[in-house]
Amino acid sequence: MSQVAAMTTAVEPAESPLTPESWGKLGMWIFLAADAMSFGALLAGYGALRFGSVDWPVPADVLGIGLTAFMTFLLICSSVTMVLALAAIQKGDQRGLRIFLGLTILGGSLFLGMQAYEWTHLIHRGLALSSNPFGAALFGTTFFIITGFHGAHVTGGVIYLSCYLVRSLVGRLGQADANAIEIAALYWHFVDLVWILVFTFVYLL
Amino acid sequence: MTAAHKHPNYFAVFWWLLALTILEVGVIFLPIAKLLIGILLVGFALTKAALVAMYFMHLKFERRTLALIAITPLLLCVLLVFALLPDSSATPHRTTAPPQASTTSH
């Protein structure tokens, strides 16, 4: 048997899973790849509409760059607390897990609060799904749909992580569940990654 | 490499992400060509996205096939952008309602 293995080292055995830890992790990666296509299609559509338009406003003139740059900073921080939460549960450190999971949830919630503030502010200035006093109406449409779709993902992530925080608090999340936290972390980092792209394409470019 | 699964220095990644974000915001105020700003911004954003995927999502320490799954949406989106290019450049359009015509031409 070892002879066979030695002869076929270059070829992976067909049974070897892509993610040895769990199938759930592979499932999350495939889901994220599909979800990335949704965001990708929205951003590609945004690009096509924007470059076909002659009266598209300069985003930095309409949107608050300072606030959203801080929101980007918040999400990056929450990604760091998420990796620390994962490191904590892998070491069996329940206290660290709760603190860092709590901080991640706090970061996500603050992000959502600031997005709500930003939206309210823009809506008061007349920006809406179908109208925009600063130029092309589709600017409003694409802005609210893309940031709204991302905000929905953040909301989902906050609920997702809160479930694990509650499970940890009632003592039903042990070191053996580290893989579940790793999968949740993948989702959270993905939301951060998408925001980095949304921030660049919708706010800065 | 997967067996060791060593933890990368997450704080180094954090500082890189922070520095690139500051650079991104700074670069839009530079008095240089719009195209150059655009190229810089896309470059910075893709670098940041790659940092998050490789280190926070541990893609660097996974099997290469998983990275192929992860990169597929990006490739498809680049294709999509090229597929949409004729639509976006063929007909420049105003999307605001035209001002009420005060003079009737015919």
Q: Kindly provide the ipTM of the predicted complex, given to two decimals.
A: 0.87
Residue B97: list chain A partners with CB under 8 A.
137
Q: Which of B77, B91, B96 is nearest residue A136 as measured by Cβ atoms? A: B96
Cβ distance of B95 and A84 shorter than 8 Å: no
Question: What global pTM score does this model have?
Answer: 0.88
Chain B neighbours among A 87-146 (CB < 8 Å)?
A: 87, 132, 135-138
**For A192-195, which contacts have Cβ atoms below 8 Å and span 24 or more sequence positions?**
A192/A75, A192/A76, A192/A78, A192/A79, A192/B52, A192/B56, A193/B49, A193/B52, A193/B53, A193/B57, A194/A36, A194/A39, A194/A150, A194/A153, A195/A71, A195/A72, A195/A75, A195/A150
Report pLDDT digits (tens) over A100-138.
999 999 999 999 999 999 999 999 999 999 989 998 999
Tell me, yes or no, whether B94 lies in a domain: no
Could you say which of B70, B89, B96 has the minimum Cβ distance to residue A137?
B96
Nearest chain A CA: its distance from B53 CA (Å): 7
Residue B77 lies in a domain: no
> B76 vs A132: CB contact, 8 Å cut-off?
no
Convert the pLDDT of each residue in B81-96 to its tens digit.
999 888 776 566 665 5
Per CATH, the number for A20-204 is 1.20.120.80
Q: Is there a domain that residue B20 lies in? A: yes
Q: Tell me the average pLDDT across B14-20.
A: 96
* pLDDT value of residue A16: 75
Picking from A16, A79, A82, A93 by the largest number of B CB atoms within 10 A of its own CB, the best residue to mutate is A79
Q: Which of B14, B53, B77 sits opposite A76 (nearest CB)?
A: B14
The domain in which residue B45 lies consists of 10-72
Closest by Cβ to A40, choosing from B41, B65, B73: B73
pLDDT of residue B105: 46
Residue B91 domain-assigned (yes or no) = no
Cβ contacts of A55 on chain B, cutoff 8 Å: 94-96
Number of domains in chain B: 1
A81 touches chain B (CB under 8 A): no
